[in-house]
Amino acid sequence: MEKISGYILSNSTEFYGELGVEDGKIVSIVEKDKYEVDDCLIMPGFIDLHSHGAMGYDVMDASEESLKEISEFHLRQGTTSYFPTALTAKQDDILNVAEICNKFVKDENNNIEGLHLEGPFINNQKLGAQPKFARDYNVNELKDVCNLCSVKIITAAPEIGDYSEFLDFCKDNSINLQIGHSVAGYDKVCEALDDGFCGCTHLFNAMIGLHHREPGMIGAIFEKGDYAEIICDLKHVHPSVIKTSFKNIPNLYAVSDTCAATGMSDGQFTLGENEVYIEDGAVYLEEDVLAGSCATIYDMFKNLIKIGFSQKEAYLMTSYRPAQYIKNNEIGDIKEGLKANIVVLNDKNYDMNAVYLNGNICRMN
């Protein structure tokens, strides 16, 4: 049995202590005196429900090499649960991604746990950096994807057509259908949330802004939303707005929305069909038009601390709440019997000391 000691921070536990890890699980948790443990912070591993790539590789490459490189990059950054995100594309291209992704989902020796479909059922007026393949709801297309791989999340626009059959299939198959890349107004979003849409994709981005007489999607999410994802690279959303959203949405959580440019140096870069440039950790289609993030969930944890969130609040947004959103009670917390997916950070500057996936060390500084 391996033992890990330090300050243990999770939803269930918050004290100095020692974890016992064996056979991929947390088998014991013992409280100890501060001076008996290592000077480190022990937390559940980070969870990223929305990410497109890293190190020059894109999920839409639909290759084992790309998914391996992407997932391992994020794992080294502490993301022990990773959900590759497919862009709006032709159906055959999405099926290819699903087929490759499923090979990783079935293998417990990596951090890939399911697929997020960001489209193609979105509004072509709010594509952002998405390719021009947006289309109306098609439940048969979705069934074909689900036959190949476990889909956990779908980003869709409620205003593009009749979503009733599509939503019923999502409910029956434990898929979270969330609103994004949409021009839906306040009333339509309220209706969709009442019908069973679960939240929204990258809050404030690819949607109509909040106005005091036209509250739009943001006003509806603030009023009725339980969950919503937000990009905390401090480029997509101002720190003050992140704080305001945290106060108004009970289970706001962070996503990276990283693209293939993540981990690359500043300069020109080809992203899918678009020529983009990287500058100061962000990706732009053109001046002031963001095309994705270059910040991992680990970066976002540190960003949240930097702008005034407590350690506990930052952890909730980067691990516990994403796990709860996808209803996976084996991750995102530290309790006996749960998966030993753990990050160990320096307790002063939050440098990464170690990452454990299923109890196995996959990074040690």
More confidently predicted of 273 and 280: 280
For residue 31, name the pLDDT band (cuts at 50, 70, 90). very high
pLDDT of residue 283: 82
Residues 6+ apart with CB under 8 A from 168: none
Q: What percent of the chain has pLDDT above 70? A: 98
Q: Using one digit for the tens of pLDDT, what is the confidence trace for 65-81?
A: 999 999 999 999 999 99
State yes or no: pLDDT of 289 exceeds 80: no
pLDDT of residue 129: 82
Query: Long-range contact list for 37-40, CB < 8 A, 24+ apart?
Result: 37/5, 37/6, 37/7, 38/5, 38/6, 39/6, 39/346, 39/347, 39/348, 40/5, 40/6, 40/7, 40/344, 40/345, 40/346, 40/347, 40/353
Lowest mean pLDDT among 9-13, 156-160, 238-242, 283-287: 283-287
State yes or no: pLDDT of 15 exceeds 90: yes
**Mean pLDDT within 128-147:** 95
State yes or no: pLDDT of 287 exceeds 80: no
Give the chain's mean pLDDT: 95
**Mean pLDDT within 283-290:** 75
Q: Where do the CATH 3.20.20.140 domains begin and end in the chain? A: 46-331
Q: Using one digit for the tens of pLDDT, what is the confidence trace for 295-336?
A: 999 999 999 999 999 999 999 999 999 999 999 999 999 999
**Does the 46-331 domain belong in CATH 3.20.20.140?**
yes
pLDDT of residue 186: 97
Backbone angles phi, psi at 198, to 5 degrees: -95, -20
Q: Are 116 and 49 in contact (CB under 8 A)?
A: yes
pLDDT of residue 5: 97
Q: What are the helix and strand counts (H, E) for the chain?
A: 10, 20
Q: Using one digit for the tens of pLDDT, what is the confidence trace for 156-204?
A: 999 999 999 999 999 999 999 999 999 999 999 999 999 999 999 999 9
Cross-sheet strand order for the sheet of 289-293: 267-271, 274-279, 282-286, 289-293
State yes or no: pLDDT of 58 exceeds 70: yes
pLDDT of residue 272: 63
